Structure 1
């Protein structure tokens, strides 16, 4: 086998983990814990023959801030990148042990398709009541999942085409050696493209798994939760959901996300427990009544049944079905703590069955007192409103007598509760003028004086004030 295989290609690196303390040591710097000193024993001649041909070389290493101050450093792997020596450093540090019982604050996580994760925290009080801490949050990856589905369809198309070429090559030649066939070159191109698409899908899934796991653990740390309850994923494809739905479920990286969550949660001592997913999206989180599902009120044009309503008039809970699911998962996990066991095969904490007496207490108690105000949820289309509202009507009659120096105002938009109009001038109105001031040196300012009139504007005099011209003064005697 070794003679038939090609020589393995490996990067230029120096694996120091196989060395003992007589060849390499590493320790933290005394004044600065952010630096470490790596000491190596290297030869000083091409062919060392004795101990004198070796010498110790010190290599200072700058530690990243992600390494805790109390972590124990292990010998790294040295590699050359860009003309510099890089160290892949491993370390270990003590973490608190995860507990199976005794949890007070838990994070419930629900799985979805377009909304990959929905999570929220719940608290178990001393009196046995369970309340939700906040409204929860969602990890939406619609764009990433759409790209993942496109790559999946592209991979299936490439595999179909490559299999077709393979059948054509074998049917025409019948010889297992197909290097000389005209379609051999095209087949190799397709195989190379399949490898590239597979690598892209792998990298995308890995990045998505780490991002989702980091988001989930950060939610638990922010809520000060000591346990994360995940619903069991093994029964999600066993209900005959159809080819398309099962394909989308199987292509998601749920298993990788669960492993990454366990890895990151172990650093802070947070337990990860698997709970049964039965009826988590079907029953109301407050009264365990079967919910009614319909379209979301804020997205009426989007297909699906994302919105859930409780038919019980005493409860009246409504919300996104994923938010109700994580509340049910968190409440079920907190009430079934005594049923948590450790699987001997996988070493994972699980709750295998749901106990009915405990399930009846797995309800979320509302934190706000319900008032008698009727439900004002939108049940129909919004009544159209005109863009030009009706003018305001006068709400008080006009004054019957003069209320001030300004006199009686005409009916209109002017207020009637003022005894004197602001900045109003004295009115001296007669037949020929609208308003003519008599004060010497006064210059009217027009509309700035108030009332909306030009106070210095003269009206046209009546016809009886203008003398008619004498048309007979220039005529002579009729004789």
Structure 2
């Protein structure tokens, strides 16, 4: 259904913006069997994966999950923030120097600074908008690829920036999580996928398979980098281990599936949310480990016949050509031309670079583009088989 157009004057042209409305499937509050859980991170902005609720009440994981890493974009955002703070400090100094007295020289410098502050603010706003749409589009694509009907997101009220130091508080306050959730609701509504916020209490603290408090260690692929990204379950019968963000999205999705009967719609905003956690339901919000086949030896090894030796070629070998050039052995590279340099072993068409020495977004610090520093796992849930939930692999 078309609506009345809005006229805009652009230069010497008059443009008409015609808005339209189309019907979309109604998102359900309950009755979900496949859900996508989304966890927030600092450098790994989003970490998501899919869980399935079976008819017998068991919850199993589909795949190992994916990540939306935007460390390079956030580094560029922090650089623009520091630049804006310096420009504001200079502008305030010019205001103090003039102190109401007319000074053409300082007034001209102040106007130049105000124009530069406006340009930096627009760059920061455009970067935040692009990051919000890219993150929301990635999360919704994960749900569409997995045929999920709901996306459970960590409640943003638990992400308050306080008590973590000045640097970390500033980084948390500069995140665009609220914009990402708004864009996520907008894109998910078109596909009929519900977006529900769930409480984030102890999502990174407890094991997703047995609810035992986890032990955090250094990441095994980064032994020289201090941190607590890797989580290990101390329960000897479980021994689940993976990145703590992967454990968090499993807990969020499992909590949402078991508490979906508690989903309510806020009257003021119309958003779906789970307000509190029920202890009895939380005890059953565990991911069932997939059964492993018994590979123990029960009998003698079957005897295999040895491969027969291939017969020698009966035809005579070709005669050797005259001259110094001989026949090049098969499988060797030719020596008359230089081979192209091989690609980096971490890069291919559908994957991204994952260095083992830590992410150093040099390009972002130098002002490179957006897409060079926003790395996302492609949506491939429908093409991969169901994997063990205790594999602990990273995408």
TM-score past 0.5 threshold? yes
Which residue is 1:138 aligned to?
67
Q: Confirm or deny: 8 A CA contact 2:161 2:173 kept in the other structure.
A: no
Please, which runs of 5 or more residues in structure 1 have no aligned partner? 1-71, 374-421, 423-479
1:343 aligns with 2:296: no
Which residue is 1:273 aligned to?
196
Which residue is 1:99 aligned to?
28
How far did 1:74 drift? 3.2
CA distance in 2, matches of 1:161, 1:80: 36
1:289 aligns with 2:289: no
1:213 aligns with 2:136: yes
CA distance in 2, matches of 1:369, 1:90: 54
**Could you list the per-position Cα deviations for residues 7-54 of structure 1 after superposition, in whole angstroms to 9, with x for gaps in the alignment?**
xxxxxxxxxxxxxxxxxxxxxxxxxxxxxxxxxxxxxxxxxxxxxxxx
**Could you list the per-position Cα deviations for residues 405-427 of structure 1 after superposition, in whole angstroms to 9, with x for gaps in the alignment?**
xxxxxxxxxxxxxxxxx9xxxxx
CA distance in 1, matches of 2:227, 2:145: 32
Quick one: higher RCO (CA 8 Å, sep 6+), 1 or 2?
Answer: 2
CA distance in 1, matches of 2:49, 2:88: 41
The TM-score normalised by the length of structure 2 is 0.71
Q: Confirm or deny: 8 A CA contact 2:161 2:172 kept in the other structure.
A: no
How far did 1:75 drift? 4.2
CA distance in 2, matches of 1:181, 1:83: 35
Question: Which stretch of the first structure deviates more once superposed, 302-311 or 81-90?
Answer: 81-90
1:157 aligns with 2:80: no
The TM-score normalised by the length of structure 1 is 0.59
SS of 2:183's equivalent in the other structure is helix
CA distance in 1, matches of 2:184, 2:148: 14
**Over the residues paired in the alignment, what is the CA RMSD in angstroms?**
2.2
Q: How has the CA–CA distance of structure 1 residues 80 and 166 changed in structure 2, closer, same or farther, with 3 Å as cutoff?
A: closer
Which residue is 1:228 aligned to?
151
Q: How has the CA–CA distance of structure 1 residues 182 and 82 changed in structure 2, closer, same or farther, with 3 Å as cutoff?
A: closer
Q: Confirm or deny: 8 A CA contact 2:161 2:170 kept in the other structure.
A: no
SS of 1:122's equivalent in the other structure is strand
Between structures 1 and 2, the one with greater helix share: 2
Which residue is 1:34 aligned to?
none
Q: Confirm or deny: 8 A CA contact 2:8 2:14 kept in the other structure.
A: yes
How far did 1:243 drift? 1.7
1:259 aligns with 2:182: yes
CA distance in 2, matches of 1:154, 1:262: 33
Q: Confirm or deny: 8 A CA contact 1:169 1:181 kept in the other structure.
A: no
How far did 1:217 drift? 0.5
Which residue is 2:250 aligned to?
327
SS of 2:65's equivalent in the other structure is strand
1:364 aligns with 2:293: no
Which residue is 1:317 aligned to?
240
Q: Which has the larger radius of gyration?
A: 1
CA distance in 1, matches of 2:38, 2:102: 53
Q: Summarize the alignment of residues 52-451 of structure 1 with structure 2, pairs less than 5 Å apart.
A: 72-77=1-6, 87-170=16-99, 175=100, 178-237=101-160, 240-369=163-292
CA distance in 1, matches of 2:269, 2:195: 13
**Could you list the per-position Cα deviations for residues 77-96 of structure 1 after superposition, in whole angstroms to 9, with x for gaps in the alignment?**
46687998765332111111
Q: Confirm or deny: 8 A CA contact 2:162 2:169 kept in the other structure.
A: no
How far did 1:235 drift? 2.0
How far did 1:240 drift? 1.5
Q: Confirm or deny: 8 A CA contact 1:262 1:272 kept in the other structure.
A: yes
SS of 1:311's equivalent in the other structure is coil
Runs of 4+ in structure 1 off by over 4 angstroms are 77-87, 370-373
Counting matched residue pairs gives 298
CA distance in 2, matches of 1:127, 1:308: 29
**Could you list the per-position Cα deviations for residues 267-298 of structure 1 after superposition, in whole angstroms to 9, with x for gaps in the alignment?**
11111111110010011000000111111111
CA distance in 2, matches of 1:371, 1:300: 34
Q: Confirm or deny: 8 A CA contact 1:280 1:329 kept in the other structure.
A: yes
CA distance in 2, matches of 1:368, 1:179: 81
Q: Confirm or deny: 8 A CA contact 1:231 1:275 kept in the other structure.
A: yes
Q: How has the CA–CA distance of structure 1 residues 245 and 222 changed in structure 2, closer, same or farther, with 3 Å as cutoff?
A: same
